[in-house]
Amino acid sequence: MSIFIKELVRKKLKQISSEELMFYSKQYGFSLSKHQAMQISNYLNQNSSVDPFKFNDREKMLRELARITDIETAQQARKLLDEVIKSYGLEHLFE
């Protein structure tokens, strides 16, 4: 089951649109411009080898998010990710 969940997450990240990112940013209280959402979407689409389940790759993604947006947004994203992982009991999937 964990392989299935990981593949779903990887596929979603590779295919996420800027419109979806704008929707989620409003839903979770993030401030993103359309341009930033496009940059994030392009980064995720073009860097499919980055694995969000590996610590180093997650850090790389968050550094890129901070570069595109700002450090505060990246920290907020990290906090939200940690909360989601914990609330669904998925800690075992993340290195």
Q: What is the DSSP string of 1-45?
A: -HHHHHHHHHHHHHH--HHHHHHHHHHTT----HHHHHHHHHHHH
Q: What is the pTM of this model?
A: 0.86
Residues 6+ apart with CB under 8 A from 55: 94, 95
Give the model's pLDDT for residue 93. Answer: 92
Q: Please answer whether residues 25 and 65 qualify as being in contact, where contact means their C-beta atoms are separated by less than 8 angstroms.
A: no
Give the model's pLDDT for residue 1. Answer: 64
Give the model's pLDDT for residue 48. Answer: 80
**pLDDT values of the chain reduced to their tens digit, one per residue, 95 residues:** 689 999 999 999 999 999 999 999 999 999 899 999 999 999 999 998 889 999 999 999 999 999 999 999 999 999 999 999 999 899 999 98
Q: Domain ranges for the chain, please list them.
A: 2-93
Phi-psi region of 54 (alpha: psi -120 to 50; beta: other; left: phi over 0): beta
Residue 59 is classified by DSSP as H
